[in-house]
Structure 1
Amino acid sequence: MPAVSLIRANSYDRQILQASLENLLAPLGGISAFVKKGDRVLLKPNLLTGSRPTKECVTRPELVYCVAKMVIEAGGKPFLGDSPAFGSAMGVAKANGYLPLLEELNLPVVEFQGKRYQTVSEDFNHLRICKEAMEADAVINLPKLKSHVQLTATMGVKNLFGCVPGKMKAWWHMEAGKDSARFGQMLVETARTINPNLTILDGIIGHEGNGPSGGEPKFLGILGASDDVFALDRTVVEIINVDPALVPTVAAAMRLGLCSNLEAIDFPLLHPEILKILDWKLPENMMPIDFGMPRVIKSTFRHFYIRFIKERMGAYAGK
């Protein structure tokens, strides 16, 4: 039976937050249950954008700092990575106030590179996932709880979409077409393939409304953690009072038997019913999964077309 640890937490003050995280992880065996001495540990926050630093669109740097510190104390070697659709991980991190904390802990930031890995479902083996996540000794997934105009809500599973390198994300959207169920399953298969050792959800202040970036901050006062990302996401939709069928990632995980009803989840601390939020704002207008041909898709086509032409020219020149 998967366990999901839930606590109330109301501060990003580093000392207070550190204590909150220790309390949160205690029922799961503490950080040492997930990190061994010498482990290279990827910390995967949500680094969506650098353009709205006060709107709680990204995982708070204080949370990443505290988790990195715990990893170091356990003997691990943490590094931070993400693949924003626009800009670099370092650029978005800087814009959101990460730099002082990164420097204090000497925490490296990596830009993800893609490679094909075998997924549980052969239907998705052609899609690329970053080797930095796949080849790390441990992955700690650090999502932000947000509403989402395409997926209703974004949590642990969706955050792992950041392990798909940059512009490859556009291809995933095109692959799914308008089929949100297929896109949800793609995201679930990505999460299954990466198989994060631990997911810690930043729900102290969430982002509601027209997310992932166009909404507004909302104080929730919650932290959640689990070694089962699907159980954690299933729990969180219950907390924000959203029908699981409306969230393609949760619906897909349930179809595949990766999570089920709350009765099949152990809650060693607080039960989600105690933390229920009845006024969480969902997006006003949902958007289709295939959002047309935005700049990122056009530039991706251009990039691959130019590379294809160069390769063909090189092949002819070699004859």
Structure 2
Amino acid sequence: MNKVSLIQAQSYDLQELRLSLEELLEPLGGISAFVKKDDRVLLKPNLLTGSRPTKECTTRKEIVYCVAQMVQEVGGKPFLGDSPAFGSARGVAKANGYLPLCEELNLPIVEFNGKKYPIDNDNFKHLRLSKEAMEADVIINLPKVKSHMQLTVTMGVKNLFGCVPGKMKAWWHMEAGKDVNRFGEMLVETALAINPDLTIMDGIIGHEGNGPSGGEPRELGVLGASNNVFALDVSIADILNVSSEIVPTLRAQKNLGLLSDIKDIEFPLLKPQDLSIANWQLPSALMPIDFGLPRVLKSTFKHLYIKFIKETINN
């Protein structure tokens, strides 16, 4: 039976949050069940953008701080990494107030732009995953609960798309975005390949409406965790009272024979109905997933230009 731990949590105060995270992880064996001494541990938050730092578009820095602290206490070596939609990981982290807490813990911030690993799937054989993610000993996925104008809701599976480096994400928006079901399947296959050891969902304050960045904050008071990202996504959708049939990633995992039924999940603490959210605001309209060729070319040119500048400076 797949296990999902759910609790109520109302505060990002570091002391209170630390206690909440310890309570959340206790039924899963605590952080020591996932991290051993000297493990290199990737913390993968949602670092979407730095343009709206007060609108809960990204995983809260306090979540990352507390989890990094817990990892260090059991002898692990955490580092923070992402490939944001806009800007660099360090730039987005800075705009969202991460740097003081990262510096306090000596937590490195890594850009996902190294060697690319092919995914072992014939349907998506051109998909590449970041070296920084694939060579980590442990991956802790730290998504934010948000509505999404292309995917209805973005949760743990979608957050792992950030492990696809830079311009590759834009190409896959164009290639798989012609078919929302194929795009959902690509995201699920990516999550399967990355296979995070632990996912902790930041739902204390979510982002509803025209997300992932154009909506508004919404207090939810929820933290969730599981070693099965698919089970956790099913559980969060149930809390939001969002049908899995309108979420492409949830449809895809069902079609692929992965966990899709709430009845197949064990809840050692609270159940989704205990945390049920009324009137969660979905996007006012759904946008095409396909970015279109002009945007992809612009993204590719920008990536190559930045790479050229960096190489010029280094030389």
Moved more, 289-298 or 157-166: 289-298
CA drift at 1:178: 2.4
Specify the code of the residue in structure 1 equivalent to 2:108: P
1:125 is matched with 125
Per-residue CA deviations over 1:27-75 (Å, capped at 9, x if unaligned) read 0000000000000000000000000000000000000000000000011
Alignment-derived partner of residue 147 in structure 1: 147
Match of 1:173 in 2: 173
Please tell me whether the aligned partners of residues 120 and 189 of structure 1 are also in contact (alpha carbons under 8 angstroms). Answer: no
1:289-312, Cα deviation, whole Å (9 max, x unpaired): 11324545434168679x9xxxxx
Aligned to 2:245: 245
**1:4, 1:17 → 2: CA distance?**
19
> 2:57 is matched with which residue?
57
| C-alpha distance 302-110 of structure 1, shift in aligned 2 (>3 A) | closer
Equivalent in the alignment of 1:317: none
Matches of 1:276 and 1:243, distance apart in 2: 13
- In the superposition, the TM-score normalised over structure 1's length comes to 0.93
Distance 1:253 1:120, change over 3 A: farther
Answer with 1 or 2: which has the greater Rg: 1
1:136 corresponds to which residue? Answer: 136
From the superposition, tell whether residues 266 and 106 of structure 1 become closer, same or farther in structure 2 (CA, over 3 Å): same
AA at the equivalent of 2:210: N
Tell me which amino acid in the other structure corresponds to 1:203: G
3-state SS in 1 of match to 2:51: coil
Change in CA separation of 1:247 and 1:15 when aligned onto 2, cut-off 3 Å: same
| 1: CA distance, partners of 2:114 / 2:40 | 18
Matches within 5 A, 1:242-281: 242-281=242-281
Relative to structure 1, the CA distance from residue 95 to residue 302 in structure 2 (aligned partners, 3 Å threshold; closer, same or farther) is closer
- Label 1:296 to 1:101 Cα distance change in 2 as closer, same or farther (>3 A): farther
SS in 2 for 1:48: coil
Q: For residues 73 and 105 of structure 2, what CA distance do their matches in structure 1 show?
A: 11
Extract unaligned runs of 5+ from structure 1.
Answer: 308-319
**Change in CA separation of 1:278 and 1:304 when aligned onto 2, cut-off 3 Å:** same
* Structure 2 unmatched ranges of 5 or more: 308-315
| Secondary structure of 1:177's aligned partner | helix
Superposition deviation, residue 187 in structure 1? 0.5
Counterpart in the other structure of 1:298 = 298
Find runs of 4+ consecutive structure 1 residues off by over 4 angstroms. Answer: 301-305
Residue 235 of structure 1 aligns with an amino acid whose one-letter code is S
Deviation at 1:117, TM superposition (A): 3.1
Is residue 134–residue 194 contact of structure 1 (8 Å, CA) maintained in 2? yes
SS at match of 1:79: strand
CA distance in 2, matches of 1:96, 1:294: 29
User: TM-score scaled to structure 2, two decimals?
Assistant: 0.94
What's 1:13 paired with? 13
Q: Deviations over 1:226-274 (max 9, x none)?
A: 0000000011111100110111111101111111211100100001011
Letter in structure 2 aligned against 1:279: N
Name the structure 2 match of 1:314.
Answer: none
Question: CA 1:92–1:303 in 2, change beyond 3 Å: closer, same or farther?
Answer: closer
How many angstroms does 1:14 deviate by? Answer: 0.2
User: Aligned partner of 1:247: which letter?
Assistant: V
The amino acid across from 2:128 in the alignment is: R
1:186-205 equivalences in 2 (<5 Å)? 186-205=186-205
* Number of matched pairs: 306
Cα distance in 2, alignment partners of residues 238 and 121 from structure 1 = 30
Residues 64-94 of structure 1: CA deviation (Å, up to 9, x unaligned) = 0000000000110000000012210000000
Q: Any conservation in 1 of the 2:118–2:128 contact (CA below 8 Å)?
A: no
Distance verdict in 2 for CA 1:227–1:302, change over 3 Å: closer
Secondary structure at the aligned position of 1:117 is classed as strand
Question: Relative to structure 1, is the Cα distance of residues 304 and 58 closer, same or farther in structure 2, using a 3 angstrom cutoff?
Answer: closer
Query: Could you say which residue in structure 2 is the equivalent of 1:4?
Result: 4
Would the aligned equivalents of 2:118 and 2:127 in 1 still touch at CA under 8 Å?
A: no
Name the residue aligned to 1:33.
33
CA distance in 2, matches of 1:119, 1:82: 18
